[in-house]
Amino acid sequence: MAGESHHNHSHGIDGDDNGYKGLNYLIVRPENGGIRDLLRYTVWSDVGCGLRFLESSDEDVAIGEAADHRLVILVSIIARKVIAVLGKPMEWAGYLVDFILNLLSQNGELTGLVYNFVHGKVVVPQRGTETFISTIGHIDGRIDLFMGKSSGEDVNGSVSGETRLKIELGNRAFMDLCIMASKLAYENAKMHFVDFYDCWNDFQKEMSTQVFILCDKPEDANLILISFRGTEPFDADDWITDFDYSWYEIPELGKVHMGFLEALGLGNRTDAVTFQNHLLQVKNTKLPTSEGNKSSSSNTYLGQGRRGWGQSSDSGEPSAIGGKVIPPEMVEKTAYYVVRSRLKGLLEEHKNAKFVVTGHSLGGALAILFPTILVLHEEMEMMDRLLGVHTFGQPRIGNRQLGNFMENHLDNPVPKYFRVVYCNDLVPRLPCDDKTFLYKHFGVCLYYDSRYNDRIVKEEPNRNYFGITYLIPDYLNAVWELIRSLTMGYKYGPEYKEGWFSLMVRVMGLALPGISAHCPTDYVNSVRLGEERISHSEF
């Protein structure tokens, strides 16, 4: 019956042997139309030209999207076309910048480099080694946790015991742990206290999703932390994903950003049926709708990856997903299955542990999407041990229905999902949102202004970034951030002093303020200098 189900899905027809309605999807394909089509769609609102850029399971869906959401689809098409053209130059620039930054840092900056050159002792940086630092690491070189704990030490000193873990959620020290872990996810697999994974993105056809897992102590751990890597500054594919408008609809769950599903390894838009194969693992059972409605052990679900509770991953057996057999090597390569398998083993090994998921930028989107898919797959034993999700500068991942669905699982008995947004950061305003638009944020938003004053809001100000009203304030604020960066070290201490490369990024931010505001520097500063919140009663 799998073939019939696939046929129904591709044509948006209701009904299949699993009792699910045919799924809807929309894919924005900038490469399918030309400049003339784009102009006609932009200037004359020619829906027919707009449709050339869209692929959908249902023609009516595509027509409705092209007519109702023309502006935001145009933003997605134009931004992705421009980024695609700049893709190779961005990649080359990234390699050059990384090389120069590491050449300077590994040789004692400019004077040391000159000295080593004269004496024939120049250290040539090698990508992938322990001493090679990412661009993000050079923008913000801090590696110590709040209150002086080193990231290389046992983090149990900062977070220990179930009682304290509950208190720490929303607390400055706990948030600092999360933002530092999010920042370290950009680095190489060189930290002795982590499992670091490079995972396969089947659409991009490369190992483009990075994630690491750590425990607060090697035995009887209380905390397991999962951190997804965010958008690389010079990675065109990452930025294209952030600007993508494509979505995939899951019954009872909602519409989910297709690019983020692909980054987790849960499908490939070149064959939209693959999303159904990965996502609809629960057969003949209704999705739970509240935290208290857990699946029973008799429910059948397929495609758990390679490892159950403590099960070895060495069996070599293929996994069945949606009626198809997925080769073990592919299950092992993709982020969702890798992390879920490893997490199950750790939770079995550490009986008292709970887990936290975190990430900055694109990593934040994957951080909240991971438990979302766990709920979809009825992994309620695992969800019972979720302590929380902390994201920083995270883009939107789906529609209002998705948010309402997940809030039922993340708000009881206390909020578990915290979304931190700094000032006019561009990425949390993506993909765009308006009164009728698809993408909506959910969860508790802790918003920091440019003076690191915080407040709890439902949605950050200027939620679409491109509003004319905020144009002048955004540029004035970028000037203020540059001036402020010159005095941070004097006002708050040497750990807040920004280096020359960070200052250059601030200068570049004068052209597009939302980009420089996205750097982890201001997120670390916000957490450390902003107001401390301990009690959940505030939320």
CA distance 161 to 365: 28
Question: Which residue is listed with tokens 């006019």?
Answer: 424
Coil/strand/helix, residue 489: helix
Question: Which residue is listed with tokens 């102009």?
Answer: 39
CA distance 323 to 173: 46
Decide: 109 and 162 in contact? Cβ < 8 Å. Answer: no
Q: Is 518 a catalytic residue?
A: yes
Residue 513: cis peptide before it, omega within 30 degrees of 0? no
Residue 137: Cβ within 10 Å count: 21
CA distance 395 to 397: 6
From the list 278, 518, 522, 526, the catalytic residue is 518
From the list 16, 176, 202, 425, the catalytic residue is 425
Phi then psi for 304, rounded to 5 degrees? -75, 5
DSSP state letter for 209: E
Q: Is 361 a catalytic residue?
A: yes
CA distance 307 to 65: 41
CA distance 72 to 453: 31
From the list 361, 502, 516, 526, the catalytic residue is 361
Residue 369 host element (H or E): helix 362-376
Coil/strand/helix, residue 232: coil
CA distance 131 to 148: 22
Decide: 507 and 383 in contact? Cβ < 8 Å. Answer: no
Question: Which residue is listed with tokens 């040539």?
Answer: 124
Show the CA angle centred on residue 357, arms to residues 141 and 204, nearest 5°: 80
DSSP state letter for 185: T
Instruction: Compute, in degrees rounded to 10, the torsion defined by CA atoms 179, 182, 186, 187.
Output: 80
Distances (CA, A) of 238 to 84, 204, 241: 11, 10, 5
Residue 436: Cβ within 10 Å count: 7
Over the range 338-371, which residues count as b (16 or more CB within 10 Å of their CB) and which as e?
bbbbbbbbbbeebeebbbbbbbbbbbbbbbbbbb
Decide: 229 and 174 in contact? Cβ < 8 Å. Answer: no
Residue 74: name the closest of 110, 112, 47 by CA: 47
Q: Which residues are catalytic?
A: 361, 425, 518
